[in-house]
């Protein structure tokens, strides 16, 4: 797309949306949000960037193939599930721990890792489709 | 010590499978000499089983096992009585000899390791089948023998004939196995037991049940397909495409007897009824005659033996079903004798083929000088097959005539059938064992010399065993035949027949058989020509029928596929949504479940506004001229619904809906541009009417079902649980997200796996389209 306004705005919009998607992902446990919604926001962000600056730019920006991203997400979610087995509790039991970081207590959990996996799967799978379709349009 | 003994038995039973895993390695290390090592596995199992002989002869049984699926009362358990023991000994004993033989036969073959792996797997499956106590285990091993047989017949998979034969055997025996499964499930329901050992004492219950006939028929289909009874026999001669050791082992000595084993095993529970005594002898007798006549028609040694095997199996089924006290004893003796002599003769045929390069009777002759040991083995085995004293086959034949001959019409009929069949088999036995060895030497493709030791040990040992067992018949009966007959009949039975000819009716009938057989042997060439004309006149047999059935099946599948998948998306969608509408609407009205009209309450102003926007979006979709406008208008409607979700207090749902609507519009728009369709989509009026009707039906159906669902009292148990425990157990305040990632986490794991798989599939489809386009350019 060759609209100068769109091209100028796109990088800002994309960075803001990506940041927002991470925010949505992390707040999900206590407020509306979560991995799935966060992933969708991220896909929308990258799709905008792809429409403005071309698919190749996006591919370079995310370094790996979107499907690799999705596969890694699934891997993370599985790891999160199996972590409980190491602790001797049934599969997928959430494990929690609190880390003191820079003076504030941060709760970490396998559930968060799981949600991160969901996020990556959604981003990877949908981005793969969207990018392939946008690419086609360029041809 | 009891646990120790059970573990040892388990090891002995699983030893063939261990050997199957090791065989590729052994053969790549030692070449064909690995057969000596590999034969140790069945030999050790044989010795272990032989250790039970004394115990079983006393009338005891050896049992043991491990729990498998305790919740379904299924166990991996074995039950070794006289019947199972004799089969186990035959399988492991002949198995060890066949492994040696195959070592010589397959020498230098690049795929030896694979071949022996299949062979040992089959051995393990067959052994498991005969010792199985639980129905399910029996079925699993039953099908496993079909599968391993498929692999072995199709071993030479580059030849189309071998592939066809393998497929045919698998379809016939494996398909029969499914009937068996159904039959076993019915028996399970009738007697409420899942173990053979328990079933044996439930015979009266089973036979009195109204479902007895159905269960029996199902089981019989399983047994008849496996044991190659007419008209299912076609797969067995075709299975001769397999390497000869396989034919000797699977298709004469062991696997084909699995059906007979099953009939014998179920005899106490299901046998002896009028149906049993009609069906079995009729099918068995028919098979006996068909097989024997077809055998004499052949000139190929292996095919000839294969058809005599069909005939022998028919005779066994006839005997098991005949119903006189001696019939079971005769079946037991004949089964043991047949395994010994037929295994030996097959190996002889393979040795001749291996040395001369041909199995054609008309091209063979005078081999007695160059292959004396093989000739000796062939002769000994043929004498037993012909039923001459003092060989084991003679004992069997005496007992057969003792069992069949009586004054009534039925006995006379089946005695005649048995005499005819036996006489023809007599001729076939000597045709195989004498013709290639006697007479003038012929020119053959290979230069014959004596087969290597690996290849004559097997047939010679088996043939000598047939002689030895008859010579020490008293001991043999006490240790082997009588316990087996007792197990089959379900009551103590002592077999007395001895190799010394006694003057009497059976001997006279035996004489008649021998004379008829001699005549048939003398007239073999003329008989063969006559039989060829006869079968020619009969027209196509069941073998061609198999092809026709298969072709018809494939043709039918093609037609059905063409009908249900014409390849037009609009038809798929119309049918799918019409079905949805029907499923939603029909039950509501057919069973008078339509919801009552709910009390109407005015929605609030924001809700009303959103509804209005949604309706505007919908109208825009309908009146839109080009596709892109329609897609965006659909998005408007979606956003309005998302805001409605928000108004009703479901922020997560609304948030997701917003994102989904956005991406849907983007992706749909991209797809539309990519498909390069016409900008507008004008349908004829009739089509629009039909589509509209389907759409209205779906909408109405969903509305009504929602109204109906909200009519009932809402059970809040789940909501209450999640609401009160979300924070406590899962440390999260957002119940929706906690459910997704924690309470129902495993579900989500499955879902994201699906998302990933769908993403890959869609990407592949897009790429495929691109590739087509590029190749088109």
SS (H, E, C) B513-532: HHHHHHHHHHCHHHHHHHHH
Cis ω before B390 (30° cut-off from 0): yes
Residue A53 is assigned to a structural domain of this protein: yes
Choose the weakest-confidence range: A11-15, A20-24, B286-290, B528-532.
B528-532
Residue B768 is assigned to a structural domain of this protein: yes
Contacts of B662 in chain A (CB under 8 A): 44
The label of the residue with tokens 């370094």 reads: A63
Dihedral over Cα of B752, B754, B760, B763: its sign: negative
State which H helix or E strand residue B376 sits in: helix B372-386
Name the β-bridge partners of B187: none
Please judge whether B730 and A32 are an interchain contact, meaning their C-beta atoms are less than 8 angstroms apart: no
Q: How far apart are CA B518 and CA B549, in angstroms?
A: 40
Residue B24 is assigned to a structural domain of this protein: no
Q: How far apart are CA B42 and CA B372, in angstroms?
A: 28
Residue A48 is assigned to a structural domain of this protein: yes
Pick from A96, A114, A139: CB nearest B731: A96
A132 or B493: which leads in pLDDT? A132
Interface test with A, best of B648, B663, B727, B745 (most A CBs within 10 A): B745
Pick from A40, A77, A128: CB nearest B659: A40
Provide the token pair at B185.
């499930």
Dihedral over Cα of B646, B648, B649, B653: its sign: negative
Number of domains comprising chain A: 1
The label of the residue with tokens 């992706």 reads: B667
Residue of B nearest to A127 (CA): B759
Contacts of A31 in chain B (CB under 8 A): 733-734
Q: Let me know: does B587 contact B697? Beta carbons within 8 Å.
A: no
Residue A55 is assigned to a structural domain of this protein: yes
Pick from B659, B752, B762: CB nearest A37: B659
**In a 3-state reduction of DSSP, which class is residue B134?**
strand
Residue B286's φ and ψ, nearest 5 degrees, are -60, -45
Contacts of B759 in chain A (CB under 8 A): 67, 70, 124-126, 128-129
Q: Does B775 touch chain A (CB under 8 A)?
A: no
Q: How far apart are CA A109 and CA B152, in angstroms?
A: 54
Residue A85 is assigned to a structural domain of this protein: no
| B319-346 core/surface letters (b: 16 or more CB in 10 A; e: else) | bbbbbbebbbbbbbbbbbbbbbbbbbbb
Q: How far apart are CA B279 and CA A32, in angstroms?
A: 72
Q: Which residues contact B341 (CB under 8 A, 6 or more apart)?
A: B381, B382, B384, B385, B392, B393, B429, B462, B463, B466
What is the distance in angstroms between the Cα of B166 and the nearest Cα belonging to chain A? 40
Domain holding B655, by residue range, is 606-682
Cα–Cα distances in angstroms (integers) from residue B758 to residues A120, B148, B161, in the given order: 15, 36, 41
pLDDT for the residue numbered B712: 80
State which H helix or E strand residue B67 sits in: strand B62-69
DSSP class of B598: P
Q: Let me know: does B92 contact B49? Beta carbons within 8 Å.
A: yes
Q: Does B561 touch chain A (CB under 8 A)?
A: no
State which H helix or E strand residue A101 sits in: strand A96-101
**What is the end-to-end Cα distance of chain A in Å, rounded?**
13
Domain holding A127, by residue range, is 4-74+111-138
Q: How far apart are CA A56 and CA A12, in angstroms?
A: 18
Q: Which of B449, B470, B252 is nearest to B345 (CA)?
A: B252
**In a 3-state reduction of DSSP, which class is residue B74?**
strand
**Residues of A numbered 56-75 whose beta carbons fall under 8 angstroms of chain B's beta carbons: which are they?**
67, 70-71, 73-74
What is the distance in angstroms between the Cα of A34 and the nearest Cα belonging to chain B? 6
Q: Which residues contact B39 (CB under 8 A, 6 or more apart)?
A: B96, B97, B99, B100, B103
Interface test with A, best of B741, B753, B773 (most A CBs within 10 A): B741
Residue A33 is assigned to a structural domain of this protein: yes
Contacts of B767 in chain A (CB under 8 A): 132
Q: How far apart are CA A49 and CA A13, in angstroms?
A: 8
Number of domains comprising chain B: 2
Q: Let me know: does B749 contact A92? Beta carbons within 8 Å.
A: yes
Neighbours of A41 (CB within 10 A): 27
Q: Is residue B674 domain-shared with residue B727, that is, in the same domain?
A: no
Q: Does A108 touch chain B (CB under 8 A)?
A: no
DSSP assignment string, B222-287: HHHHHTT-TTGGGHHHHGGGS-HHHHHIIIIISGGGHHHHHHHHHHHHHTTSHHHHHHHHHHHHHH
Residue B461 is assigned to a structural domain of this protein: no
pLDDT for the residue numbered A1: 58
Residue B389 is assigned to a structural domain of this protein: no
Beta strands at B74-80 and B62-69: parallel, antiparallel or unpaired = antiparallel
What is the distance in angstroms between the Cα of B354 and the nearest Cα belonging to chain A? 55
Q: Is residue B611 domain-shared with residue B672, that is, in the same domain?
A: yes
Interface test with A, best of B631, B660, B737 (most A CBs within 10 A): B737
Q: How far apart are CA B147 and CA B134, in angstroms?
A: 20
Q: Let me know: does B20 contact B117? Beta carbons within 8 Å.
A: yes
Q: Which of A119, A91, A32, A106 is nearest to B742 (CA)?
A: A91
Residue B732 is assigned to a structural domain of this protein: yes
Q: Which of B103, B109, B118, B102 is nearest to B154 (CA)?
A: B118
Contacts of A77 in chain B (CB under 8 A): 748-749, 752
Cα angle at B25 between B19 and B31, to 5 degrees? 100
Residue A105 is assigned to a structural domain of this protein: no
When pLDDT is cut at 50, 70 and 90, the band that residue A74 belongs to is very high
Compute mean pLDDT per 10 residues along chain B, 777 residues long, and list them.
69 88 86 86 90 86 81 80 90 91 85 88 92 88 92 88 90 91 90 84 85 91 90 85 86 86 89 87 91 86 88 90 84 89 89 84 81 87 84 85 82 86 86 81 75 85 86 84 85 78 79 85 82 80 83 93 86 92 89 80 88 93 86 91 90 88 87 76 84 93 89 83 81 82 87 93 83 57
Residue A89 is assigned to a structural domain of this protein: no
Q: Does B754 touch chain A (CB under 8 A)?
A: no
Residue B54's φ and ψ, nearest 5 degrees, are -60, -45
> In which region does residue B597 sit, left (phi positive, over 0), alpha (psi from -120 to 50) or beta (all else)?
beta
Burial category of B50 from C-beta neighbours within 10 Å (exposed 0-12, middle 13-18, buried 19 and up): middle
pTM of the model: 0.72
Q: Is residue B629 domain-shared with residue B674, that is, in the same domain?
A: yes
Residue B33 is assigned to a structural domain of this protein: no
Residue B639 is assigned to a structural domain of this protein: yes
Q: Does B660 touch chain A (CB under 8 A)?
A: yes
**Residues of A numbered 16-45 whose beta carbons fall under 8 angstroms of chain B's beta carbons: which are they?**
24, 28-37, 40-41, 43-44
ipTM: 0.90
Contacts of B666 in chain A (CB under 8 A): 44, 47, 130
Cα–Cα distances in angstroms (integers) from residue B524 to residues B290, B299, B300, B422, in the given order: 17, 10, 14, 15
**What is the end-to-end Cα distance of chain B in Å, rounded?**
78
Q: How far apart are CA B127 and CA B130, in angstroms?
A: 6
When pLDDT is cut at 50, 70 and 90, the band that residue A137 belongs to is low
Contacts of A29 in chain B (CB under 8 A): 731-734, 737-738, 741
Q: How far apart are CA B486 and CA B473, in angstroms?
A: 17
Residue A134 is assigned to a structural domain of this protein: yes
């Amino acid at each position: 797309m060759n609209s100068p306004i769109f091209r100028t705005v796109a990088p800002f919009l994309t960075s803001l949306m990506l940041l927002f998607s991470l925010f949505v992902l992390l707040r999900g446990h206590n407020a509306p949000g979560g991995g799935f919604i966060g992933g969708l926001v991220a896909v929308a962000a990258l799709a905008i960037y792809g429409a403005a600056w071309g698919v190749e730019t996006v591919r370079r920006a995310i370094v790996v193939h979107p499907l690799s991203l999705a596969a890694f997400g699934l891997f993370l979610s599985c790891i999160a599930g199996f972590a409980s087995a190491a602790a001797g509790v049934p599969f997928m039991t959430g494990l929690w721990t609190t880390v003191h970081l820079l003076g504030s207590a941060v709760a970490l959990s396998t559930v968060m890792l799981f949600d991160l996996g969901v996020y990556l799967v959604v981003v990877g799978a949908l981005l793969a489709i969207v990018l392939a379709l946008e690419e086609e349009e360029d041809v | 010590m009891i646990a120790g003994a059970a573990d040892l038995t388990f090891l002995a039973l699983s030893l063939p499978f261990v050997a199957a895993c090791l065989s590729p390695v052994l053969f790549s290390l030692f070449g064909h000499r690995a057969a000596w090592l590999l034969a140790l596995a069945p030999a050790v199992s044989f010795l272990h089983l032989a250790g039970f002989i004394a115990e079983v002869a006393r009338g005891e049984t050896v049992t043991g096992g491990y729990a498998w699926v305790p919740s379904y009362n299924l166990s991996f358990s074995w039950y070794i009585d006289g019947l199972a023991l004799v089969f186990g000994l035959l399988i492991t004993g002949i198995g060890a000899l066949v492994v040696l033989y195959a070592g010589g036969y397959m020498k230098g073959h690049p795929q030896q390791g694979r071949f022996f792996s299949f062979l040992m797997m089959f051995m393990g499956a067959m052994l498991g089948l005969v010792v199985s106590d639980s129905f399910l285990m029996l079925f699993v091993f039953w099908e496993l023998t079909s599968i391993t047989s498929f692999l072995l017949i199709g071993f030479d998979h580059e030849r189309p004939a071998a592939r066809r034969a393998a497929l045919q055997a698998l379809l016939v025996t494996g398909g029969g196995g499914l009937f068996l499964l159904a039959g076993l499930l019915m028996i399970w329901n009738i007697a409420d037991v899942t173990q053979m050992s328990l079933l044996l004492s439930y015979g009266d219950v089973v036979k009195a049940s109204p479902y007895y006939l159905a269960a029996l028929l199902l089981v019989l289909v399983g047994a008849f397909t496996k044991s190659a009874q007419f008209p299912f026999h076609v797969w067995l001669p075709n299975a001769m495409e397999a390497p000869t050791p396989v034919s000797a082992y699977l298709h004469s000595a062991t696997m084909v007897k699995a059906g007979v084993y099953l009939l014998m095993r179920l005899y106490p529970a299901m046998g002896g009824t009028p149906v049993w005594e009609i069906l079995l002898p009729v099918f068995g007798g028919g098979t006996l005659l068909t097989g024997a006549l077809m055998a004499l028609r052949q000139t190929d040694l292996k095919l000839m033996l294969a058809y005599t095997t069909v005939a022998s199996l028919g005779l066994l089924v006839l005997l098991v079903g005949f119903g006189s006290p001696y019939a079971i004893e005769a079946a037991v003796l004949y089964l043991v004798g047949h395994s010994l002599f037929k295994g030996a003769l097959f190996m002889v045929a393979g040795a001749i083929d291996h040395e001369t390069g041909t199995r054609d009777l008309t091209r063979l002759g005078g081999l007695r000088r160059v292959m004396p040991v093989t000739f000796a083995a062939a002769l000994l085995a043929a004498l037993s097959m012909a039923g001459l004293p003092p060989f084991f086959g003679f004992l069997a034949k005496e007992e057969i005539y003792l069992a069949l001959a009586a004054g009534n019409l039925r006995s006379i009929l089946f005695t005649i059938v048995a005499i005819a069949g036996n006489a023809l088999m007599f001729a076939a036995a000597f045709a195989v064992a004498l013709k290639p060895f006697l007479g003038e030497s012929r020119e053959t493709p290979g230069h014959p010399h004596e087969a290597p030791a690996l290849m004559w040990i097997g047939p010679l040992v088996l043939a000598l065993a047939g002689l030895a067992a008859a010579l020490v018949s008293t001991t043999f009966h006490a240790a082997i035949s009588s316990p087996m007959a007792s197990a089959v009949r379900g009551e103590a039975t002592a077999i007395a027949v001895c190799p010394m000819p006694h003057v009497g009716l059976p001997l006279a009938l035996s004489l008649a058989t021998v004379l008829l057989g001699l005549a048939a042997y003398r007239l073999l060439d003329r008989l063969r020509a006559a039989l060829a004309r006869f079968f020619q006149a009969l027209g196509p047999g069941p073998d061609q029928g198999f092809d026709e059935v298969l072709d018809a099946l494939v043709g039918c599948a093609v037609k059905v596929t063409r009908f249900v998948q014409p390849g037009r998306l609009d038809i798929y969608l119309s049918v799918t949504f019409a079905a949805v509408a029907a499923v939603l609407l029909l039950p509501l009205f057919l069973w008078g479940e339509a919801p009552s009209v709910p009390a109407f309450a005015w929605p609030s102003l924001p809700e009303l506004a959103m509804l209005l926007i949604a309706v505007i979006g919908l109208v825009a979709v309908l009146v839109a001229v080009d596709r892109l406008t329609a897609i965006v208008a659909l998005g408007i409607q979606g956003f309005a619904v998302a805001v409605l979700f928000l108004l009703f207090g479901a922020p997560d749902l609304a948030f997701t809906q917003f994102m989904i609507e956005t991406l849907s519009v983007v992706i749909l728009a991209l797809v539309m541009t990519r498909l390069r369709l016409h900008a507008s989509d004008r349908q004829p009026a009739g089509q629009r009417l039909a589509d509209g009707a389907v759409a209205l039906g779906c909408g109405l159906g969903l509305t009504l079902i929602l109204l109906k669902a909200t009519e009932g009292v809402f059970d809040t148990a789940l909501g209450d649980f999640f609401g009160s425990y979300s924070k406590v157990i899962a440390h999260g305040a957002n119940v929706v997200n906690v459910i997704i990632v924690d309470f129902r986490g495993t579900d989500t794991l499955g879902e994201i796996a699906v998302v990933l798989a769908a993403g890959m599939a869609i990407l592949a489809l897009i790429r495929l389209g691109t590739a087509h386009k590029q190749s088109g350019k």
